[in-house]
Chains A and B, each alone.
Chain A
Amino acid sequence: QVQLQESGPGLVKPSETLSLTCTVSGGSVSRNYWSWIRQPAGKGLEWIGRIYSGGSTNYNPSLKSRVTMSVDTSKRQVSLKLESVTVADTAMYYCAREEYYGSGNLWSFDFWGQGTLVTVSS
């Protein structure tokens, strides 16, 4: 059973960089897409972007200028950096594995981490 665990600072100051890591256990990072998704308290889910194990990325245009994702297959880790954060970036951050169903654009998030709460405050 694949398990994902997010980690990183729970408090980040405005204008600084948010850095999170997702560690994968029970499965390989290889040959999969890994997404980051966030959810402000009491609100809906927002897809931040994804990275393939080979390093190719897709970012949400709304965040693209501030987002960098990376993968370390040897450590089974996927990382997220979000620059120049503001209070609007306060949210629960999830990493998730994308499963592909082999037809068109049939993807889904089949495994999720428990999430890590990041608060942006001075």
Chain B
Amino acid sequence: DIQMTQSPSSLSASVGDRVTITCRASQSISDYLNWYQQKPGKAPKLLISAASNLQSGVPSRFSGRGSGTDFTLTISSLQPEDFATYHCQQTYSTPWTFGQGTKVDFK
């Protein structure tokens, strides 16, 4: 199985901060990498597919980069509704696997 490791596991930030979350794969996964946002008590929501493809309706302050083994999700200016947990996921090979999640909370 491909292991996905996110860092940090949690971070505290303020509204307006620039936030970057890293996801590292245990082997090269090309750009087969998705990012999801999950709020408490809710299902995950797809933010970015194929490492950098922003989904329709997702604010442009979200961006994704990377290829191979190293990927980042950046929120350029954190908004109150962005406090949530973020998950990366690979679809290079089954079983699809997720990172452990990064919780973004209020500083």
Contact = CB atoms under 8 A, between A and B. Distances in A.
Contacts of A101: 49-50
A50 to B, nearest CB: 8
B93 A106 contact: no
Nearest to A59: B95
B68 to A, nearest CB: 14
Contact of A47 (B49, B50, B95): B95
Given A94-B43, A106-B50, A44 B98 contact: yes
B33 to A, nearest CB: 10
A61 B2 CA distance: 13
Interface stretch (B17-25, B58-66, B71-79, B84-92): B84-92
B49 A106 contact: yes
Classify the interface of chain B: helix, strand, loop or mixed: loop
Contacts of A35: 96
A104 B91 CA distance: 10
Given A45-B89, A104-B32, A62 B95 contact: yes
A44 B43 contact: no
B44 A112 contact: yes
A35 B96 CA distance: 10
B78 to A, nearest CB: 22
B87 to A, nearest CB: 6
A32 interface: no
B97 A47 contact: yes
Contacts of B89: 45, 108-109
A107 B91 contact: yes
Interface of B: 1, 30-32, 34, 36, 42-46, 49-50, 55, 87, 89, 91-101
Given A44-B98, A44-B101, A45-B98, 20 more contacts: A44-B99, A45-B44, A47-B96, A47-B97, A47-B98, A59-B95, A61-B95, A99-B49, A105-B91, A105-B93, A106-B31, A106-B32, A108-B34, A108-B89, A109-B34, A110-B46, A112-B43, A112-B44, A112-B45, A115-B43
Interface of A: 35, 43-47, 49, 58-62, 94, 96, 99, 101, 104-110, 112-115
